[in-house]
Amino acid sequence: MTIKLQCFGESGHSFKAALGLELSGLAWEPVYVDYFGGEGRTSEFRGVNVMGEYPVLSDGDLTLSQSGAILQYIADKTGKFGGTGAEKYDVLRWVLWDNHKLSSQVGMTRFLMNFLPEDKRPAEVIAFLQSRLKGAFTTLNTHLDGRDWIVGDGLTAADISCCSYLYYPEPFGFDRSEYINIDAWLTRISETPGWKHPYDLMPGNPSDRA
């Protein structure tokens, strides 16, 4: 049975789930949702996911939202990306850190800087978020010093989660060249067989609304 993932290309959280599925080898297909057209705010979708957020994975009778939970499901189903032994707790630690400190704030900053009308972009809020993100980038860059991967000797859900927003071309105050360890790590991930850019892996692109 083919797994379905409700998602859209602009969503870094969707990219985490989509990339995990793609690299796992599971049979899956993306189902485009018109987030910017308000599809996530409809009562019909709220009946599927009361949180009103994407991505949403459907596998038979299972419906699951939240990218971290979906990555854990992929790990449990395939035996990939979850870490071995005590490493699984370190993988979880970094997924939780990413959701709180990194991708949630990158997602908000990127949205405010690129998907709002220019005259409605809150400069002070953006500056505040960017200052917090510098701390998160530094934390990750420092951790990756002398490491190929965030946890252990291979790609895990920690890498898939933390990398997601950092491939997008829209500006949000991140320059890979300023963080040499992150830069090398992102290259390493993108050289993994099966990796695809978010706009190639999922339907939906800012150019669709240009």
Go through the domains of the chain in sequence order and give each one's CATH number. 3-80+195-209 (3.40.30.10), 87-190 (1.20.1050.10)
46 versus 136: the higher-pLDDT residue is 136
* Three-state secondary structure call for residue 57: strand
Distance CA 28, CA 23 (A): 11
* Three-state secondary structure call for residue 3: strand
User: pLDDT value at position 160?
Assistant: 98
User: pLDDT value at position 181?
Assistant: 98
Residue 26 has pLDDT above 90, yes or no: yes
Which residue has 């071309």 as its token pair? 169
Which residue has 């290259």 as its token pair? 187
Give the pLDDT band (50/70/90) at residue 43: low
User: pLDDT value at position 45?
Assistant: 62
For the question of whether the overall pTM of this predicted structure is more than 0.75, the answer is yes
User: pLDDT value at position 47?
Assistant: 62
Distance CA 24, CA 92 (A): 18
* Residue 204: both structure tokens together: 């939906």
* Number of continuous H segments (helices) and E segments (strands) in the chain: 9, 4
Give the pLDDT band (50/70/90) at residue 75: very high
Residue range 11-21: average pLDDT?
98
Q: Cis peptide before 55, with omega less than 30 degrees from 0?
A: yes
Give, as one character, the DSSP assignment of residue 132: H
Longest dimension (CA), the chain: 51
* Three-state secondary structure call for residue 90: helix
User: pLDDT value at position 51?
Assistant: 66
- Would strands 3-7 and 28-32 be described as parallel, antiparallel, or unpaired? parallel
Residue 209 has pLDDT above 80, yes or no: no
* Three-state secondary structure call for residue 49: coil
